[in-house]
């Protein structure tokens, strides 16, 4: 499964591998909506910011993101899906509050790095229902409250706990990515 997802990602199309069985207690997930939650860097957005974080640390990451806050991030493997879901929401004859499609971003980013995310989404013309800037805090409580049908993340650290409360898919880095050396 991971090899198949890797081939698809390397072909520049979104893919994920479900590495853990979904939790058994999914009764609380709403049946009248489709809820999808995404991580940000290396999932919705390209991996350049994640590379800075892993290679140079949190302080350099925050400084770089603050300086580049008016420069939209490049698209990551799930950007096209996010854009299509957002367009679908716009076309449905429901108010945003009653939409059957709900989108959330659950990211470890925090101030000052959150402004680049907000401005990138505006640049893309994308609306998300909820966005959580957790500043490195555990994502599980937020995911449990949002109750997505699936959550996509690139980091095993987050997926290990998330997969205990919601179905979770690992988004692999492209084979050519320098992030693969940081992941081992």
Domain residue spans of the chain: 2-15+34-182
Residue 86 and residue 80: Cα distance in Å, rounded?
Answer: 10
pLDDT at 130: 94
Class at the top of the CATH hierarchy for domain 2-15+34-182: alpha beta
Tokens 């302080």 identify what position?
A: 59
- The two tokens of residue 119 are 């401005």
- The two tokens of residue 35 are 């809820």
Q: Output the pTM of the full model.
A: 0.88
Mean pLDDT, the chain, as a whole number? 88
Cis preceding linkage at 18, omega within 30: no
What positions carry a catalytic annotation?
A: 39
Of 70-84, 94-108, 121-135, least confident by mean pLDDT is 94-108
Coil vs helix vs strand at 31: coil
């Amino acid at each position: 499964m991971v090899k198949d997802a890797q081939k698809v990602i390397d072909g520049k199309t979104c893919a994920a591998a479900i590495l853990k069985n979904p939790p058994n207690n999914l009764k609380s997930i709403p049946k009248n909506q489709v809820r999808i939650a995404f991580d940000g860097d290396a999932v919705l957005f390209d991996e350049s910011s994640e590379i800075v974080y892993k290679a140079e640390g949190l302080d350099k990451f925050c400084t770089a993101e603050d300086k580049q806050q008016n420069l939209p991030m490049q698209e990551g493997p799930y950007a096209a899906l996010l854009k299509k879901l957002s367009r679908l929401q716009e076309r449905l004859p429901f108010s945003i509050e009653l939409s059957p499609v709900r989108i959330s971003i659950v990211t470890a980013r925090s101030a000052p790095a959150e402004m680049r995310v907000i401005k990138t989404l505006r640049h893309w013309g994308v609306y998300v229902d909820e966005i959580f800037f957790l500043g490195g805090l555990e994502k599980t409580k937020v995911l449990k409250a949002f109750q997505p049908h699936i959550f996509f993340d690139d980091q095993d650290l987050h997926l290990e706990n998330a997969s205990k409360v919601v179905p979770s898919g690992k988004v692999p880095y492209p084979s050519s990515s320098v992030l693969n050396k940081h992941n081992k």
